[in-house]
Amino acid sequence: MKVTALTEKHLELGAKMAEFAGYNMPISYAPITEEHQTVRNGVGVFDVSHMGEFIVRGKDATAFLQSTCSNDVSKLKPGEVQYACLPNAKGGIVDDLLVYRLDDAPEMLVEGEQSYMLVVNASNELKDWRWLKRRSKGFEVKMQNISAKTGLLAVQGPKAAEALQKLTDIDLKSIPYYSFKRGRFAACNNVIISATGYTGSGGFEIYAKNKDIVKIWDKIFKNGAKFNIKPVGLGARDTLRLEMGYCLYGNDIDDKTSPLEAGLGWITKLNKGVDFPSIEKFKKQKAEGVKRKLVGFVLDERRVPRHGYVIESPRGASIGVVCSGTHSPTMDKPIGMGYVKTKFSEPGTKIKIVMGNKKLDAIVTKLPFVTPGV
Query: In this structure, are 222 and 335 located in the same domain?
Result: no
Give how far Cα 332 sits from Cα of 11, 63, 301, 302, Å: 30, 47, 11, 9
Task: Considering only the C-alpha atoms of the chain, give the largest distance between any 2 of them, rounded to a whole number of Å.
Answer: 66
pLDDT (0 to 100) of residue 224:
97
- Dist CA 343 CA 292 (whole Å): 8
CATH number at residue 338: 2.40.30.110
* Whether residues 233 and 157 fall in one domain: yes
Within this chain, do residues 34 and 163 fall inside the same structural domain, yes or no?
A: yes
- 327/132 Cα distance (integer angstroms): 37
* Boundary residue ending a domain (178, 213, 243): 243
Task: Tell me if 272 is assigned to some domain.
Answer: no
Check whether residue 239 and residue 295 sit in a common domain: no
Pair 300, 157 in one domain? no
- Three-class secondary structure assignment of the chain: CECCCCHHHHHHCCCEEEEECCEEEEEECCCHHHHHHHHHHCCEEEECCCCEEEEEEECCHHHHHHCCCCCCHHHCCCCEEEEEEEECCCCCEEEEEEEEECCCCCCCCCCCCEEEEEEECHHHHHHHHHHHHHHCCCCCCEEEECHHHEEEEEEECCCHHHHHHHHCCCCHHHCCCCEEEEEEECCEEEEEEECCCCCCCCEEEEEEEHHHHHHHHHHHHHHCHHHCCEECCHHHHHHHHHHCCCCCECCCECCCCCCCCCCCHHHCCCCCCCCCCCHHHHHHHHHHCCCEEEEEEEECCCCCCCCCCEEECCCCCEEEEEEEEEEECCCCEEEEEEEEEHHHCCCCCEEEEEECCEEEEEEEECCCCCCCCC
311 and 230 fall within a common domain:
no
Domain of 320, in residue numbers: 291-365
The total number of structural domains that make up the chain? 2
Specify whether 156 is located in the same domain as 231.
Answer: yes
Q: Are residues 200 and 346 in the same domain?
A: no
CA dist 166 and 335 (Å) reads 38
Nearest one of 252, 242, 285, 210 to 121, comparing CA atoms? 252
The distance of Cα 295 from the centroid of its chain, to the nearest Å, equals 18
Closest CA to 242 of 119, 334, 153, 319: 334
pLDDT at 300: 87
Note the pLDDT of residue 103. 82
CATH code at 199? Answer: 3.30.1360.120
Low-confidence residues of the chain: pLDDT under 70? 104-111, 373-374
User: In this predicted structure, what is the pLDDT of residue 374?
Assistant: 52
In a domain, 92, yes or no: no
Whether 94 maps to a domain, the answer reads no
| Total-model pTM | 0.96
Q: Are residues 33 and 154 in the same domain?
A: yes
Tell whether 311 is covered by a domain: yes
In a domain, residue 97? The reply is: no
Q: Which of 243, 259, 277 is the last residue of a domain?
A: 243
Residue 136 lies in a domain: no
Query: Could you tell me if residue 57 is inside a domain?
Result: no
Q: Please check whether residues 153 and 300 belong to one and the same domain.
A: no
Burial pattern 349-370, b for ≥16 Cβ within 10 A else e, equals: bebbbbbeeeebebebbebebb
pLDDT at 113: 85
Residues 226, 341, single domain; the answer is: no
pLDDT at 106: 54
The answer as to whether 28 is a domain residue is: yes
Residue ending a domain, choose from 186, 214, 243: 243
Residues 24, 159 within the same domain: yes
